Copies of this chain bind each other. A is one copy, B any other.
Amino acid sequence: MKESEKIDVSTEEKIKEAARIVFYKKGFAATRTRDIAEEADINLALLNYYFRSKAKLFEMIMLETLSGFIQNMLVVLNDEKTTLEKKVEEIASRYIDLIIKEPEIPTFIVTEIRNNPDMLLKKLPIKQVLTNSMFFKQHEEAVNKGEISEPNPLHFLMNVIGLVVFPFIAKPLLMGGSGINDTEFNALMLERKKLIPVWIKSMMKGE
């Protein structure tokens, strides 16, 4: 890498980063290539020069985002050195930090997958990895030992991820409904890093 490239990022990278920002905020259908060009402070024609089309550029961003998001989770769920309990702590901690930095990601993923459920899921081998995961084994073990009352690991997974991610998705509604501001919202989310593992522990034990 040349010295100049360390200071001024390449045009290609500038466009990609701008595209990420705009796509995250408005979704594919609502963003215009002009928005991206403006955000990147480049000429509109350069977008098509570097990336063939708006759709191609989008697909690239989407794939990176989604695979990053999911890969991150699979790594935690497949760690052979951590207990089930520790896995919950890891997911809560990692994802809350990550989403506070990039608050638009969860809604972005959800809305864009709705518009194209196949395309992306077929490219990512989530199912194989998940069903053979350390997480599933440990969950089954805990159920057999009577430490967890609900036998279906999908409920467990939905609960953890839902408790972590949902507040970010519902953030505008929550802020409108409660009157809290952005800083207060983030403080609440940080609290949840400690709270969620405790909650999960209590709720999964059963009455």
Contact = CB atoms under 8 A, between A and B. Distances in A.
A110 B104 CA distance: 12
Contacts of A202: 202-203, 205-207
Main DSSP-derived SS at the A contact region: helix
A114 B163 CA distance: 20
B154 A180 contact: yes
Interface stretch (A39-47, A90-98, A169-177): A169-177
B115 A30 contact: yes
A174 B203 contact: no
Given A188-B155, A198-B207, A170 B30 contact: no
Interface of A: 25-30, 107, 109-111, 113-115, 117, 121, 124, 126-127, 130-131, 150, 152, 154-155, 158-159, 161-163, 165-167, 169-170, 172-174, 176-180, 188, 191-192, 195, 198-203, 205-207
A151 to B, nearest CB: 11
A45 B206 CA distance: 59
A124 to B, nearest CB: 8
